[in-house]
């Protein structure tokens, strides 16, 4: 299964790529679905399901409390990349 999210127009121009694999720490904006327009950081990534959780996106549980809502990676747009990882940074710069 392919697991990637589209980049914002500024990041597309900078890195010359349409999409990258999201990572924890990336900032994203939800562009489709129930939480449309919500912006936040990626808190957890589930590559096997093709989903991720975003800071501030949660649902009330029946027994009380809240639970993070997993969102499909194709329904978010990456607005800023977490470049703490040297390998990820070098791969993006090599293409850009």
**Averaged confidence pLDDT in the chain:** 93
- Whole-prediction pTM: 0.90
Expressed in angstroms, the distance from the first to the final Cα of the chain is 25
- pLDDT band of 93, cuts 50, 70, 90: confident
For the stretch 49-75, pLDDT in tens is: 999 999 999 999 999 999 999 999 999
Answer yes or no: is pLDDT of 96 > 80.
no
Give the chain's domains with CATH numbers: 5-81 (2.30.30.30)
Smallest Cα–Cα separation from 96: which of 29, 4, 3, 20?
A: 20
Give the Cα-Cα-Cα angle 87, 5, 44 (nearest 5 degrees).
70
Instruction: Report how far apart, in Å, the C-alpha atoms of 23 and of each of 61, 66, 69 are.
Output: 26, 23, 17
The C-alpha atoms of residue 15 and residue 96 are separated, in whole angstroms, by 4
């Amino acid at each position: 299964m392919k697991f990637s999210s589209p980049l914002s127009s500024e990041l597309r121009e900078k890195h010359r790529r349409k999409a990258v694999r999201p990572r924890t720490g990336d900032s994203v904006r939800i562009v489709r679905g129930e939480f449309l327009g919500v912006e936040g950081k990626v808190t957890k990534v589930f590559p096997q399901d093709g989903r991720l959780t975003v800071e501030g996106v949660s649902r009330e549980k029946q027994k009380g409390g809240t639970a993070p809502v997993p969102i499909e990676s194709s329904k978010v747009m990456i607005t800023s990349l977490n470049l703490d990882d040297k390998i990820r940074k070098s791969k993006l710069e090599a293409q850009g």
